[in-house]
Structure 1
Amino acid sequence: MATVAVTASFSSRLSTPDGDTCEITDKELVLDSVMQSIKHDGAGALVLFVGTTRDTFDGKDVVRLEYEAHTNLALRTICKIMQNIRKGHGSLIRLTCYHRIGNVPVGQPSIIVAASAPHRRASFNACEDLLEQVKEKAQIWKREWYVGEHEDEAQWKENANVSGEWGA
């Protein structure tokens, strides 16, 4: 009798009224897709930040990171963050945030945030603001897996909730 392996993948996306998008997925993040999502003829500046799994943390060798999310709430939170950033950086054309969940091996991206605007300063500032606020407020949690540790020793890391605004 043949054995059938079923591999399900997950991806969920939400957009704002301004056309900004966020996606949470268990698939590998693709830079070209992100670039296409923020391109615009009026954009003279496209800024991307790619956060990858590094091989060490606090002197320990990292095997992988594992992310979990309250997906619907996290998507709504990220969209709200993007709408608020837009108010502070009026010349923005597009914002986007892609976040991977599940296991993310060393060297692979776990988050990509991007911004486009007519000029670079607005793009740089918005991209950094988006990254910091997603890390602080989005309902996404990270677990670090280290070389030589058992499954029960992997450590969950909490996002800092400086502002106290978890709701979307």
Structure 2
Amino acid sequence: MSSTTIPSTSVDARLDVPQGVCVLTHSKLNTEEIIDSVKDDGAGAIATFIGTTRNSFKGKVVTRLEYQAYSKLAIKTMASIVERVSQSISRSEHTPEVQRTDNSSLLRCSLYHRLGIVPVGEASIVIAVSSPHRKEAFVACEQILEEVKQKVQVWKREFYEGEPESTAEWKENR
């Protein structure tokens, strides 16, 4: 399959959940808009993770990445991760010094993942989490990232300088 052919299962998708939003998109990720989407007057912290395409891997020069997904399932998996992490942080003892006055320590989560070709320097994934306190936001952001890499039905190919495109193999997004 040509790198410009988009499989019918790898389509843009969006799923809003009570804790925030999950998005798969072929469009360039607007990090400022994603961060703005989790702003809340009750937030004392917004933690973000922006994963970008780097220019090298294991001594090879990377020219670009390409992502595909089984979008119908991947977007549901992303939403379940956001819901699960939000619930686990709310019940967590990560920050015992924080006096909880409500049911949720996380206010909003946004999880965006690119599909298609992502050039060097551009974002492949953006996670933004708002919380009254920084520790919960940092912990949630990292947990979401690790679960996305382990569970979400997204695959990637790395293209290297000087190597035929036909040698690029699809790999799990780890």
TM-score per shorter chain, which class?
0.7 to 0.9
| Local SS of the residue matching 2:37 | helix
Render the CA deviation track for 1:45-68: whole Å, top value 9, x for unaligned. Answer: 001100000000000000000000
Letter in 1 for 2:15: L
Contact kept, 8 Å, 2:64 with 2:159, in 1: the verdict is yes
Render the CA deviation track for 1:59-102: whole Å, top value 9, x for unaligned. Answer: 00000000000111100001001111011111000111000000
TM-fit CA distance, 1:11? 3.3
User: Would you say 1:34 and 2:48 are equivalent positions?
Assistant: no
- The match for 1:136 among 147, 150, 155 is 150
Q: Sequence identity of aligned pairs in percent?
A: 47
| Local SS of the residue matching 1:41 | coil
Map of 2:46 onto structure 1: 46
Contact kept, 8 Å, 2:45 with 2:137, in 1: the verdict is yes
Letter in 2 for 1:152: S
Give distance in 1, aligned partners of 2:122 and 2:113. Answer: 12
Map of 1:157 onto structure 2: 171
Give distance in 1, aligned partners of 2:169 and 2:62. Answer: 11
Give distance in 2, aligned partners of 1:109 and 1:94. Answer: 20
Give distance in 1, aligned partners of 2:88 and 2:38. Answer: 18
Give distance in 1, aligned partners of 2:86 and 2:123. Answer: 25
Contact kept, 8 Å, 2:15 with 2:76, in 1: the verdict is yes
| Local SS of the residue matching 1:155 | coil
TM-fit CA distance, 1:21? 0.5
Map of 2:16 onto structure 1: 15
Q: CA RMSD in A?
A: 1.1
Letter in 1 for 2:143: D
TM-fit CA distance, 1:37? 1.0
- The match for 1:93 among 89, 107, 118 is 107
Give distance in 2, aligned partners of 1:46 and 1:13. Answer: 22
Give distance in 1, aligned partners of 2:19 and 2:56. Answer: 37
Q: Where do 1:69-148 residues align within 5 Å?
A: 69-90=69-90, 91-148=105-162
TM-score (norm 2): 0.83
Which structure 2 segments of 5+ residues have no match? 1-10, 91-104
| Local SS of the residue matching 1:40 | coil
Question: Which one scores higher on RCO, CA 8 angstroms, separation ≥ 6?
Answer: 2
| Local SS of the residue matching 1:21 | strand
After superposing on structure 2, the runs of 4+ consecutive aligned residues of structure 1 that deviate more than 2 Å are none
Render the CA deviation track for 1:6-55: whole Å, top value 9, x for unaligned. Answer: xxxx6321011x24100000000001111111000000100110000000
